[in-house]
Each structure stands twice: as C-alpha cells, then as structure tokens.
Structure 1
C-alpha cells in the first residue's frame, strides 16, 4: 500500500520512508469529507497543540507530586510512612481505599493535614506553565509554519514518558503498573507512526529511566540490608532492656517505593510487545528498506536552521510573520 507508480513510472517508488502521520490522517479523513482539507488540517494541528500541553501538564504534575511525597516521607516521623489517603490525593495512585482496604474517607489521618491544599497549588501552577511552554514553544511553531506535521505531532511524547514512569512507581498497585505498560506501548507506537526520530529519542529515554531504576533499586536493597544488620546487632540489647521488640522496628516495615525487578521486567516486555505489535506494519518495511538501500546524507542538512536552543523556548522563530528574520545557513 505504500508503493506508488504515479511517479518514476513505470518502475514506481516505495514511499515507506515518507513521513506519515497515521493518527492525524485517520481523524482528518472524516473532517475533510465533511468540510475541506484546510479545516481538517487545522483541527488536527489544534488537537496536537492542545494535547501536547495537556500531556505535559499531567507529566509535570506527576513528577512534582512524586517529589513532594518523598519530601513529606522524610518529614513525617523521621522518614516514616506517609498516609495512604494522602498519597491517593496527591498522586491518584492509591485509589479509593488504603493499603489495608479501609475507605480513604474513613482514614484516621483525614483531618490532620491542612498542608495539602497549598501543596496542590504549588504543583498545579508549575505544571500548567510547563504545558503552555511545551505546547507553544518555537520548536513546534517553526515546523507548523513549514507544514511538517510529523514534527508537530509532539502530544504523545509526554504521555509515553508519564506511563513509563508509572511502570516503575512502587506506590501503584501491580494492576495499575501493568495498565501503564499497556498504555506506554500504545503511546510509543503512536510516536513511531508519527515520526521515527521521536521513537529513537524515546528509546534512549527509556534506557535512561531503566538505568535509573536499576540504580535506585540497588540502593534501596542496600539500605534495607544495612537496616536489618543494625537491628540484628541491637536485638540482644533490646531484649535485655525490655524495650520495643525488633519485630516493630521501623526499618523493617517501610513500604517499598520501587516495584520488584521481576514485575518491572515483565512490564517492560509487555510495553515493548504492544509497541512493536502496533508499529510493526510500518516498522518492518522501514527496517527492510534501510537494510537494502543507502539513505545516508552528507553534512547537517537543515538541522541547524530548524534546531532550537534554550532561548528558543521563549522567543519567536525566524519564520514568524512579524518578529521573524532570514534563515542563516
């Protein structure tokens, strides 16, 4: 279906490496039939912009909430456990019940934390601003002006990042992490179907997250072993002094903040399987084309004039109709 004889007739040409945006093409087809091509194109572009901002809002809110939860864990009881209902209100991960099955509305700590409204406001405002910056930054605007809608389809990037981080979130139930893996594979495939470059970058991001998870898991196990060793060394003194039994030591009852290695590997395999299954109709022909033909380019091409820097997050592009300028090769 991606081969055409309308050009280079009679040999034709394979257009498998032509950048398709399958999702936008799918939603634009009925709009184009109902209205016209410009309306369909503009709606698809607006959808990408809005969802880019919303996805970034969700991602940044999740990251900030996770950081706040860890900060509160350290403040409460010298690193004690934060209430399940508070985790649920902050991260949405605890569901309607605590870890003991008690409804959150009946949690004994429900009326003891007036800090949560201020905490929510300190999270929502930065997350909202991050969504605005990501959705309307110049690196998206310049490709929208050029009509490179594959590079404007950035809405699935934050959604994939969010699902990947939830896969390694020990506060979530196993079924929630599994659901995150399924959705992560779905969003990765959407990124790949929109722009292969994005998929490569997300694969690198996945590798970095996995390495970070491995280091944190190793550190957590090391800290637990050190805690157990300290408890064993003081066990004799505690029994002699008739103090708190070792079975009630706080070091042995801190809930793990990372999922175990086996479940994480299974979820990663599930994520990869879903991504490959959905992307394979385009990925397999692409890989075959790369292996049989030579598509290497010399030099940087248009990478320099179309790239962005830190200042580009806050300034117009060179193609801006009022504030723009000439492209510098």
Structure 2
C-alpha cells in the first residue's frame, strides 16, 4: 500500500487499533525480517503486542509496555535468545512520500527499569529505499538505553525528515545486539509527517463542539487534493480511513487519541486512480461514512 497523504500526516498511531489477526500483527503495509534467523526467536520479533501478553520467563519482565493505552510496537530479547546469540531484527514502515517539514516522532522505552536487573538495549533507525536490508542507505540514529537500573523511562524522540523531501522512503527500526544480554524495545505513539497545529492537523476552533460530525469533503469532486473536516465533543480515540469502491483500505489519515475540537485534514490522492472513494470516521462506538469523487 502506497502512502497517499499530503503534508500533514503520513502515519499516526498509538497501535491500539491494530487487530491481532496473526500472533505477530503489524500496521498495514509494514514488513519485518528476522535477519539473525535464530529459531529461538520465532514469534518473538517485532510485533504490535498487548501489555497482557507474556513471552516466557518472568511475568513482569517479559510483558510489553505501552506509553498510552494497552498496545505498543514491541520486540523481546527472546528474538535472539540473549547471551552469545545475535539479535538482528528489522521492521519497516509502509512507503512514505516525504515533504519539507515532515518529522518522525515517537516514544520509546528500552533497557531495564526500576526493579529489573541490569540490561542494555539499542535500536537503530534507518532510511531505506525499499523494505529490505540492501535498501538501507542512511543511518538516522541509534538509541541506546541508560546503564543505570532506574534511569530508563519513556522518552520522546523527534527526527527531522526534510533532507528526504521529494523522496519515497521507508523507515526501518533495527534491533541489533551482537553479544549483549538484552531485554526489550517498546515503541508507541508514533507520528510521521508535519505536526504543525494539533499533531499535524488543523484545529479550526477554540470552541468545543457539541456533537460528533463528519463533513463532506471540499472540493468534491477533487484533483488531487481535498480537505476533510470532522468534529468530536470530547477527547477520544479517532480513526479516519479512506477506502476504494471495492472496500479496500487505501489510506489511514488518523489513528490515535485526539482532543475535543474541530479538525481539518488535507488528503492528497495524487497516487490514486480516478474514481469513487469513501472515507470513514470512527470515534469510540460512533461511525460515519461519506463518499467523494477523484477526477483526474
């Protein structure tokens, strides 16, 4: 699935809405690779996991942690078994069309925390031209946990992607530990795009709306950019997705916690074909769908 968003949000998720269709679920279009091929790590590599899941051993240590909600993108030291076994596990986002001002923003928790014995973890961040190890061309950063047994906590990381403006890229997270005893990596509340305004979308009013509302996109028909406006009366989990006429999901505009307000999101369909599309807003148990037409 190619990214079809404009300059506001390319990807946004706290991973709460990722269904466990398989034991190792990932967002649509993402891919992972167990490059160390360690049979001990089968089923323990990168995946969106619930904080109630236990991967073996100590029930406290081996449960994933979440920054918000109950799910996060997680990998366990079991992916490489630890000790002298190498951990070398990759996970790639879907393709992203980068614009000037876009950033990668996420929260992470690595390494031991208070009450857990000494471990060191690290995760590398790569910019790639494809969802493959050979496509990795720019090493953006390496995050290493603190050595102090009580110093590791959730930390927000922000990386400016403007140097890749005009490029179609994939972002990879590589859990690589050649010899060290390790513990885990937890990643949550990720945003890729331009977070100007309210996490990348424009809050149109300081007044709190009194109802749930999804407005007709404007302009409609459109080519290739249109604006979608919605209102929510209280802070809620919000999902806003685009579907083609066959019901296939082609893009996710919002997937996470959003404060009460009225929001306008720019949708760029430059990579889609002409035709009828549907956009669905879901807020808790409420849902509404509208139709729009792309004419090129």
Q: TM-score, normalised by structure 1?
A: 0.21
Could you tell me the TM-score, scaled by structure 2's length? 0.22
Greater helix share, structure number: 1
Larger strand proportion, structure 1 or 2? 2
